[in-house]
Amino acid sequence: MKIVLDHITKKFPNINKKEKSEVTAVDDFSYEIPDGKLVALLGPSGCGKSTILNLISGLEKPTQGKVFFGDDDVTGLPAENRGVGLVFQNYALYPHLTVRENIRFPLENLKGDKKLSKEEMEEKVQRVAKLVQIEALLDRRPSEMSGGQQQRVAIARALVKKPKVLLLDEPLSNLDARLRLQTREELRRIQLETGITTIFVTHDQEEAMSISDYIVVMKEGRLMQKGVPQKVYDSPDNLFVAKFLGTPQINVFSGEIKDNALFIGKDKIRDGINSIDKKVYVGVRPEGFEPSKDGVLRCEFQKLEVMGRDASILSHNDNFDGTVIRSIIPSDTEVKTTGGEIVFNLKPWKTFVFDSVSEERILID
């Protein structure tokens, strides 16, 4: 089922009651989540990700705007009638119940013609336990399982009522790196197998990029960019998104467009730019640098770090915004430096130009 968020704004009263101002957790946010897809909501802490999930689940009501499930306006519909499965940021299993009882819990209080017999409940529990591969653990208690197993129990519990929508709020945050990788692949498998429209919150951009059909990048309650992960990475709309996606981070230089050419300091990076003269930021992805003696950007060489397949060149340039320019090249590339200087060519498709005031992308090609 598709979900539509139509110009949603959510304001909370300021916790400090003496202050009149409100906190705007979500700011005029519009997005359509296509049926059966996995969408990752991505952004720094406090940008409104959990609030968006709570607005979809019905735990919060928007201050303005509407929520649609399919064509139905559910803005006023209570959470229990929305058919949403939710795994919270700090998922909590009931410690005194077994895995079976934990998963069965949402089925126990169904009323009227939805009421289930013991056998029906057991059958549903078995089915989801199988899906998340914990059939053998049904008689254990949460304390007798690993973090990843507990995670899967929480997901099974969210799935047992066959929700139309699955909302996962940082479901992997408590797992170690290895288990996290395994569990995220498993999550994707379950999502593909069930075809449930799923919204997944994370602040880990790699996690978001690796398992989702679409990503939505947020900042301070606003939608900054949405799209297929690789497309957003390859074509960021603004400096925030460019910086947010990619490890190591994009390298940002202050530069300018002058007489239809792009400069970083005195180095002319490119000719034939169709723009008025202005100050800009130039972002270059780490994989966008090619050492070349007749390159365009001169930097002070600091260090070469070889890490198996790749090597990382650390260098410095006076117009660089951060401490060290990090460029990544294949480890079998020969790196020549002369007098402590290294010269790079910049791959045009890995180089982005942003207005220095609005920080919006300027298309120069």
Ligand X SMILES: Nc1ncnc2c1ncn2[C@@H]1O[C@H](COP(=O)(O)OP(=O)(O)OP(=O)(O)O)[C@@H](O)[C@H]1O
Contact footprint for Mg ion (CB under 5 A): 50
Least distance to ligand X, CB of residue 246, Å:
19
Helices 118-131 and 147-159, interaxial angle, to 10°?
130
Least distance to Mg ion, CB of residue 55, Å:
13
Q: Could you count the other beta carbons within 10 Å of the beta carbon of residue 313?
A: 24
Size of the site for ligand X (CB under 6 A): 14
Residue number with CB closer to ligand X (189 or 219):
219
Q: Which residue is nearest to Mg ion (CB)?
A: 50
Pick what 222 binds: ligand X, Mg ion, none; C-beta below 5 to 8 Å, kind-dependent.
none
Residue number with CB closer to ligand X (92 or 306):
92
Residue number with CB closer to ligand X (23 or 179):
23
Taking CB under 6 A as the rule, does residue 171 contact ligand X?
no
Residue number with CB closer to ligand X (12 or 94):
12
Q: What are phi and psi of 349, to 5 degrees?
A: -80, 0
Instruction: Say what the alpha-carbon torsion angle 64, 69, 72, 74 is, to the nearest 10 degrees.
Output: -40
Cα separations in angstroms, 134 against 148, 154, 230: 11, 11, 33
Residue number with CB closer to ligand X (52 or 125):
52
Pick what 243 binds: ligand X, Mg ion, none; C-beta below 5 to 8 Å, kind-dependent.
none
Q: Which of residues 37-56 bind ligand X (CB under 6 A)?
A: 43, 45-51
Pick what 12 binds: Mg ion, ligand X, none; C-beta below 5 to 8 Å, kind-dependent.
ligand X
Least distance to ligand X, CB of residue 361, Å:
24
Least distance to ligand X, CB of residue 65, Å:
15
Residue number with CB closer to ligand X (41 or 299):
41
Residue number with CB closer to ligand X (184 or 270):
184
Least distance to ligand X, CB of residue 89, Å:
6
Pick what 349 binds: ligand X, Mg ion, none; C-beta below 5 to 8 Å, kind-dependent.
none
Least distance to Mg ion, CB of residue 51, Å:
8
Q: In whole angstroms, what is the distance from residue 319 CA to residue 299 CA?
A: 10
Least distance to Mg ion, CB of residue 201, Å:
6
Pick what 150 binds: ligand X, Mg ion, none; C-beta below 5 to 8 Å, kind-dependent.
none
Among residues 334, 285, 349, 342, which one has the least CA distance to residue 317? 342
Q: In whole angstroms, what is the distance from residue 298 CA to residue 188 CA?
A: 44
Q: Which of residues 64-103 bind ligand X (CB under 6 A)?
A: 89
Q: Which of residues 11-30 bind ligand X (CB under 6 A)?
A: 12, 15, 23, 25
Q: In whole angstroms, what is the distance from residue 181 CA to residue 211 CA?
A: 10
Pick what 319 binds: ligand X, Mg ion, none; C-beta below 5 to 8 Å, kind-dependent.
none
Collapsing DSSP states into helix, strand and coil, what is residue 182? helix
Q: In whole angstroms, what is the distance from residue 237 CA to residue 224 CA?
A: 8
Q: In whole angstroms, what is the distance from residue 346 CA to residue 328 CA?
A: 12
Q: Which of residues 293-322 bind ligand X (CB under 6 A)?
A: none
Q: Which of residues 195-214 bind ligand X (CB under 6 A)?
A: 203
Residue number with CB closer to Mg ion (170 or 237):
170
Q: In whole angstroms, what is the distance from residue 160 CA to residue 138 CA?
A: 14
Least distance to ligand X, CB of residue 82, Å:
19
Residue number with CB closer to Mg ion (47 or 273):
47
Binding site for ligand X (CB under 6 A): 12, 15, 23, 25, 43, 45-51, 89, 203
